[in-house]
Amino acid sequence: MRVAVCQLNARDDRKVNLAAAELLLERAAAGGADLAVLPEYVDYLGPAAGLLDPEPVDGEVGQFFAAVARRLGMWVVAGSIHERGPDPDHTYNTSLVFDRSGTLAASYRKIHLYDVEIPGRVSYLESATVAPGAQPVVVDVEGLRVGLSICYDLRFPELYRQLTTDGGAQLLVVPAAFMLHTGRDHWEVLLRARAIENQCFVAAAGQTGDHEPGRTCFGRSMVVDPWGLVLTQVPDGQGVAIADLDLDRLRTIRAELPSLANRRL
């Protein structure tokens, strides 16, 4: 299984964002990727006032990614989009997974919402406009078990443990828009920790660069192997990085260092 992580700088224009995402997906497909992962909020990253009416998963944005997946014959994790929420004031932050025929194979609503106040650095109250999901999701991608998550979820190891032990995950995907302030110190450490402790591959696709209003994202999208080694990463700016997942290596690591089997509950 060949996996691509696509690093994007989404702005406040849905049409422009979708076109940029499509270009990155085309690069992933040209590189032979079977599965490509896009970042969180691939449809829109900008002032709340500029957000178009949020749609259901089969709205225009969903249909757009379905068509791209079908045209490229590639699995696509449309990182996350603004899904119509439970009331007019709240959306869901939802990841969509399309198979090679463009059929929606799974969707996952971000469970952990980013409500953080670091004076002078980060001020974010995601729960003011987003309703949380409640259901962890693992999807079968041609025999590969893929656990879904979004951005801030990365700080909650119990979610990934559940995806792995209950859901049988072998690959954990993390679409994100990690900010520069936290990302530069925490992003890679957290991704490698989730990979090591769950003995899973991790494919993490981040937003990069500046976004209105005043948000700068860290980027550094990467694929990590179950030993915690970074197989590939995207430098600053938009781009794609591709890695082959060797499932024999995953099985060997789990057999030789059986920390999942050695858990004491």
Ligand X SMILES: O=C(O)CCC(=O)C(=O)O
- The binding site for ligand X (CB under 6 A) comprises 114, 151-152, 155, 177-179, 182, 186
Residues 36, 37, 38, 41, Cα dihedral to 10° = 140
Q: Which is nearer to ligand X, 46 or 102 (CB)?
A: 46
- Phi, psi (degrees; rounded to nearest 5) at 27: -65, -40
Shortest Cβ 232–ligand X spacing (Å): 22
Give the type of residue at 176: A
- Annotated active-site residue 110? The verdict is yes
Residue 174 CA to its chain's centroid (Å): 3
- Annotated active-site residue 151? The verdict is yes
Shortest Cβ 181–ligand X spacing (Å): 8
Q: Which is nearer to ligand X, 6 or 253 (CB)?
A: 6
Q: Which helix (H) or strand (E) holds 45?
A: none
- The burial of 142, by beta-carbon neighbours within 10 Å (0-12 exposed, 13-18 middle, 19 or more buried), is given as exposed
Shortest Cβ 122–ligand X spacing (Å): 8
Both tokens of 67, joined, read 């068509």
- Annotated active-site residue 40? The verdict is yes
Catalytic residue among 6, 22, 26, 40: 40
Catalytic residue among 6, 83, 110, 217: 110
Both tokens of 237, joined, read 């700016």
Q: Which is nearer to ligand X, 186 or 254 (CB)?
A: 186
Which active-site residues does the annotation give?
40, 110, 151
